Amino acid sequence: MSNDALPVDSRIQSLLARMTLEEKAGQLGVFADMVRPFAPDVNPETNMRNAAQVLDDVRAGRVGTLFNGVGAAQGRQIQRVAVEESRLGIPVLLAADVIHGMRTVFPIPLGEAASFEPELAERTARATAVEATAAGLHWTFAPAVDVARDQRWGRGAEGAGEDTLLGCAFAAARVRGFQGDDLRAADALLATPKHFAAYGAVAGGMDYNYVEISDGTLHDVHLPPFKAALDAGALTVMTAFNDINGVPASANQALLTGVLRGQWGFPGVVVSDYTADMELVAHGYAEDDRDATLRAFTAGMDMSMQSGFYAAHLPALVESGQVPLPLLDAAVGRVLALKAAIGLFDDPYRSLDPAREADASHLEAHEALAREAARRSIVLLKNEGGVLPLAGGQRIALVGPFARDLDNIEGCWTLFGDRTRYVSLEAGLRAGLPAEASLQVVDGCGLETALEGGIEAAVAAARAADVVLLAVGEPQRYSGEAQSRTRIELPPAQQALAEAVAATGTPVVVLLRNGRALALEGAVRDAQAILVTWFLGSQTGHAVADVVFGGYSPSARLPVSFPHASGQQPYFYNHPRTGRPETPQMSEFKARWREYPNTALYPFGHGLGYGRIEYGPVRVDAPVLEWDGALKVRATVRNVGACMAEEVVQLYLHDRVASRVRPVRELKGFRKLALAPGQSCEVVFELDRGQLAFTRADGSFGAEPGRFEVWIAPSAAAGEPAGFELLQPPA
């Protein structure tokens, strides 16, 4: 019997028995793919090596995974070197940051989370996987599942916002979408929930900063989306750059070994973030490169990205006895098992088919999906006087630096998008323009600078129009990795444009471009209508036109709270109760800022459609919940408007008295439903003790008997609660 026919386990055992220490360390190395066309803008230090060196390393068995290059034909060449020219013929894994689309670009994950439709994210992740695997990839470093409670942090754009339950739903959906039903299929893309852990909690919202966090917040808020992603089948996890209460996440034994492997039984591979092991030295947590290697590896980090530390130091650490050989073999075994799980040993050329890469037959369907996902991600914050949708024969002025722009529609972490297929706002609006309407387009200003005569031209266009579509917001590079902000506001040049346009008195509809919640000010905040359009991807213009002209009634809801002002950050709806809450009667010496109450301008969960939805009172089926019982909570929701509408019905809970101060509200369920004009629906949620559980004062996880409040509401700030009591456990 040939070796290839052996069951995977014994094949891996047999490889391990034959590998040198250098080859073992090589399998744990992840290096930039300088062989194929590479995304040069990210991580510039990757250019440390050239293609020939990388191929030499593959040939010598010094590297097991390459990342961020694409192309099936050259991928085959790399694989041929690995399989035919390296001593043991172990195939390489080909990875990349494919975050929200490959050639077809879908909305940024934060935007897509606004749809409150995890199944939509599953579909876009699937389409992404189809395109990525066609382009010669096996593995994506996604989804980012960091809960982002501070909007200054630029990487909130990559996740699902500020809420844990929503984050869990999207984390799991994206993993399912990327990986598909069969990991061995040519279009299955390995998923990597990242960044483990608490990366979204960096102090002051500054990327790469330290994290000081309580155990309760870590376990109840930041860890669950990782667990959800693993339960959905993710086989790899990426560590975070930050430290947690002084211990860097990438050398954090308690997390990587204790929680991940111990408590959760994770069988897969832990990969470092980019040079995260090297950074242990900069953190002042490791003495030198060798010490950093020792600490990261023994804490539970299997693979090292780009630093080269594992290749340089692991063999000597094993020889000196500081790293036990079985520990190294276990890590290498996991990496080889990962390769086996996607069928690489049986077909090293899987996902490396140039004919499949050239085949464009699926792209039309993906474009349609991108348009659907984009319009389902748009949030209508306000719509005074029903200015939207735009009626028939209006004279429309499209004003703003994003009007014709094609450089700011994809959003952060889009490395491989096909720009030739991007649809600008102008192009989309022209394509959807009703026959009798007219469209005049004026930039008005640059993204950050005034334009000579820009404001005058914009004002003239606004005066000559019935309505202004004001396309303003954040440049794309303001969000994403390393893009933290102290002021989450519009650039002053754009704010000045907005003020001048509003002063004409022509109604203004803001088309907001943003990678985070923003603090809206002046004429932007006070516009007649505001559509939050995030970064919507390839089909931006068409999707916005669908909403603006009424072809689609907006159905998305905010996955992040829009504050009144930047200085409120971190602001998130599910904050702990203060001892001095503000009341309608009393503001003095209460928890508030001098200028603003402790509320959001637009709360989490908020969003309007073109229908008008009314909620009946929330009712509980019983005043008590038995310890082992279940309780139904219900409310009737009715579309009393004249248009079809989709409503996101949200279930919130509050624990009145507990051993630790509990959040004012927490999302415990949501349901999106379509309602025709006049249609009503009774929405029923079921609660049990599990949903009331939290990390208690003594560190244990569970519910505490006592009083609870429950809402069924259209946002985190709406509605009146019903009450019930969780009874004591039976004696």
Nearest distance in Å: CB 274, ligand NOJ: 4
Beta bridge partners of 380: 531, 608
Structure token pair of residue 371: 């348009």
In the bound state, the residue with its beta carbon closest to ligand NOJ is: 141
Nearest to 241 by CA among 291, 206, 288, 204: 206
Which one, 134 or 249, has the nearer CB to ligand NOJ?
A: 249
Contacting ligand NOJ within 182-221 (CB under 6 A): 194
Residues ≥6 apart with Cβ < 8 Å to 237: 192, 193, 194, 196, 226, 230, 260, 266, 268, 269, 270, 271
Residue with tokens 């940051």: 97
Positive or negative torsion for Cα 589, 592, 594, 599 = negative
Residue at 172: amino acid letter: A
Residues ≥6 apart with Cβ < 8 Å to 263: none
- List the one residue from 33, 481, 546, 647 that touches ligand NOJ (CB under 6 A): 481
Pair 32, 42: CB distance under 8 Å: no
Which one, 150 or 273, has the nearer CB to ligand NOJ?
A: 273
Residues ≥6 apart with Cβ < 8 Å to 356: 72, 134, 186
Which one, 32 or 523, has the nearer CB to ligand NOJ?
A: 32
Rounded to 5°, angle at Cα 404 from 398 and 407: 140
Contact letters for ligand NOJ, residues 550-569 (x by CB under 6 A)? --------------------
Nearest distance in Å: CB 99, ligand NOJ: 8
23 binds ligand NOJ (CB under 6 A): no
CA–CA distance, 140 with 130 (Å, rounded to integer): 12
Pair 611, 675: CB distance under 8 Å: yes
Chain-centroid distance of CA 213 in Å reads: 21
Q: Which residues of 6-37 are buried (b: 16+ CB within 10 A; e: fewer)?
A: eeeeebbeebbeebebebbbbbbbbbbbbbbe
Pair 290, 319: CB distance under 8 Å: no
Nearest distance in Å: CB 481, ligand NOJ: 5
Which one, 179 or 540, has the nearer CB to ligand NOJ?
A: 179
Nearest distance in Å: CB 433, ligand NOJ: 40
274 binds ligand NOJ (CB under 6 A): yes
Pair 165, 668: CB distance under 8 Å: yes
Nearest distance in Å: CB 141, ligand NOJ: 3
CA–CA distance, 704 with 697 (Å, rounded to integer): 11
Positive or negative torsion for Cα 358, 362, 364, 368 = negative
Which one, 280 or 692, has the nearer CB to ligand NOJ?
A: 280
Contacting ligand NOJ within 125-164 (CB under 6 A): 141
- List the one residue from 220, 273, 353, 426 that touches ligand NOJ (CB under 6 A): 273
Beta bridge partners of 247: 244
Contacting ligand NOJ within 501-540 (CB under 6 A): none
43 binds ligand NOJ (CB under 6 A): yes
Nearest distance in Å: CB 537, ligand NOJ: 19
Which one, 273 or 647, has the nearer CB to ligand NOJ?
A: 273
**Active-site residue 655, yes or no?**
no
The DSSP letter of residue 278 is T
Nearest to 294 by CA among 284, 282, 309, 275: 309
* Four-CA torsion 148, 154, 159, 160, nearest 10 degrees: 60
97 binds ligand NOJ (CB under 6 A): yes
Full DSSP string of 59-77: HTT--SEEESB--HHHHHH
CA–CA distance, 107 with 216 (Å, rounded to integer): 32
CA–CA distance, 725 with 710 (Å, rounded to integer): 11
Which one, 200 or 315, has the nearer CB to ligand NOJ?
A: 200
Which one, 38 or 116, has the nearer CB to ligand NOJ?
A: 38
Which one, 23 or 273, has the nearer CB to ligand NOJ?
A: 273
Nearest distance in Å: CB 133, ligand NOJ: 18
CA–CA distance, 12 with 579 (Å, rounded to integer): 59
Rounded to 5°, angle at Cα 143 from 138 and 149: 165
Which one, 64 or 719, has the nearer CB to ligand NOJ?
A: 64
Pair 556, 525: CB distance under 8 Å: no
405 binds ligand NOJ (CB under 6 A): no
On the CB side of 696, CA atoms within 13 Å amount to 12
CA–CA distance, 727 with 532 (Å, rounded to integer): 43
Which one, 243 or 481, has the nearer CB to ligand NOJ?
A: 481
Nearest distance in Å: CB 308, ligand NOJ: 15
- List the one residue from 6, 8, 42, 185 that touches ligand NOJ (CB under 6 A): 42
Contacting ligand NOJ within 99-118 (CB under 6 A): none
Which one, 112 or 481, has the nearer CB to ligand NOJ?
A: 481
Nearest distance in Å: CB 128, ligand NOJ: 15
Contacting ligand NOJ within 51-80 (CB under 6 A): 68
The DSSP letter of residue 90 is P
Nearest distance in Å: CB 542, ligand NOJ: 29
Per rule CB under 6 A, count of chain residues that contact ligand NOJ: 9
Nearest distance in Å: CB 393, ligand NOJ: 48
Nearest distance in Å: CB 486, ligand NOJ: 21
Nearest to 481 by CA among 236, 723, 242: 242
| Catalytic residue from among 57, 273, 353, 546 | 273
Binding interface with ligand NOJ (CB under 6 A): 42-43, 68, 97, 141, 194, 273-274, 481
Catalytic positions, written as ranges: 273
